[in-house]
Structure 1
Amino acid sequence: MLGCGYCRQLDYFEIVNNKQREFFSVNEKKLVIFLDSGDTIIDETTEVRDSEGIVLSASVIPDADVMVKTLYNRGYTLVLVADGDAQSFKNVFKQQGLYDYFTAMIISENIKATKPSPRMFKAAAGAIELNEADYSRIVMVGNNLSRDIKGANALGITSVFLSWTSRYPHTPADESERPDYTIAEPLELLELVEKLNAALLNNVS
């Protein structure tokens, strides 16, 4: 897999899948995608932990790996924004071959704060040299209304609730937890982000 720095020097990505070839212009991807981990990419029920509570291994939820790889190959910048121990995420994302698809990983252990704290989202934006003026071009995708959605909404970041798991509430406690969009499965994000990215480009032109 090509590293992010090299990929951004190319005008186009070439993706071969099922003998079909598609081209996506890197320069046409204005939207930036923040992703949660647990039950958004990684199935929390499959986590194997050591005696210190560090996750040693886990499985992805269905098609989450395809979602991550497809978004990356289409030229989107991906940032992990997750609560937990940094070593846990390093273990699992390397195990699943997804670690290098992320431009940055913002982990609560390192930030000394957890979502919905604005520090998590501001750190994620800062890691890719974005500021408050850029929040309108960011989407946050997560499974937790009180953390992912509430935190994104508070900063004017577009919120996308992935309702795949039944282990967390699906009904907002109040308006601060109401998502801008809801998807049931990871692959539904692909069409949504293309529409959101197109809307951003139309507003610029």
Structure 2
Amino acid sequence: MSKKLIVFIDSGDTLVNEGTEYRNEGSPIVQSCELIDGAKELLLTLKERGYTIELVADGYTQSFDNSYGQHGLKNIFDARTISEEVGEKKPSQAMFETAMKLLHLTDEDKKRIIMVGNNLERDIVGANRFGITSVFIKWSPRYPMEPKNEEEVPDYIIHKPLELLDLVEKLEAELEKTEGTHGEEAVSIRKCI
């Protein structure tokens, strides 16, 4: 049975450890990489539990084909929104609009979407501006960890991929409770813990 909550998720330093990415000399394309501990289990468990998962990431299509193909996860995503194909990078609204179109979602569905990412300036600002729930994975030492302004403040914070499982179950339960309601209750999953 499919779930109400929809998971948009970033790749680099959210699922893939950017410090392990290998590229051929002079090429921007990732040839191979290692996943962050728990990332593969996270994706497989989300899929098994019936969640819709969409990759919303900046980079090159071939890099993602290589990275997820290497780990047997090439077809784990229900859809993929990749900056190379969109022609813009997060926090551009075009990335999130494209992600919604690929899953045939409307503005009414925004209350059901979370964006999980490691980059406050791109993932969190993009989600917050777009009006979807933001989840910051505070894992990577390569990016700032503290918000510089209100737009960078996430709705939720996790520290490793597997922590997302409990959060999505909690948010799914809240969505199920508010099913059929409108207004303020319907957006109750947007709050900090």
Taking structure 1 as the reference length, what is the TM-score of the superposition? 0.86
Give the counterpart of 1:79 among 29, 47, 54.
Answer: 54
Q: Which runs of 5+ in 1 are unaligned?
A: 1-25
Rounded Cα–Cα distance in structure 2 between residues aligned with 1:159 and 1:180: 5
3-state SS of paired residue (1:65): helix
Give the counterpart of 1:60 among 35, 40, 43.
Answer: 35
Give the counterpart of 1:69 among 44, 66, 71.
Answer: 44
Cα displacement (A) at 1:165 = 1.0
Give the counterpart of 1:180 among 127, 151, 155.
Answer: 155
AA matched with 1:36: D
Cα displacement (A) at 1:167 = 1.1
Q: Which runs of 5+ in 2 are unaligned?
A: 181-193
Within-5 A mapping of 1:86-125: 86-125=61-100
Tell me whether 44-53 or 106-115 shows the greater mean CA deviation.
Answer: 44-53
3-state SS of paired residue (2:80): strand
Rounded Cα–Cα distance in structure 2 between residues aligned with 1:126 and 1:53: 28
Cα displacement (A) at 1:132 = 1.3
AA matched with 2:8: F
Cα displacement (A) at 1:190 = 0.2
Render the CA deviation track for 1:30-87: whole Å, top value 9, x for unaligned.
Answer: 0000000001000000001023221100000111110011001000000000001111
Within-5 A mapping of 1:1-205: 26-27=1-2, 29-50=3-24, 51-205=26-180
1:6 is aligned to: none
Rounded Cα–Cα distance in structure 2 between residues aligned with 1:176 and 1:203: 26
Q: Which runs of structure 1 show a deviation greater than 2 angstroms over 4 or more consecutive aligned residues? A: none
Q: Between the two proteins, what is the percent identity of the paired residues?
A: 51
> How many residue pairs are counted as aligned between the two chains?
179
Cα displacement (A) at 1:182 = 0.2
Taking structure 2 as the reference length, what is the TM-score of the superposition? 0.91
Rounded Cα–Cα distance in structure 2 between residues aligned with 1:118 and 1:197: 25
Rounded Cα–Cα distance in structure 2 between residues aligned with 1:98 and 1:178: 31
Cα displacement (A) at 1:176 = 0.5
Render the CA deviation track for 1:158-179: whole Å, top value 9, x for unaligned.
Answer: 0000011111111111100100
2:189 is aligned to: none
Rounded Cα–Cα distance in structure 1 between residues aligned with 2:107 and 2:72: 32
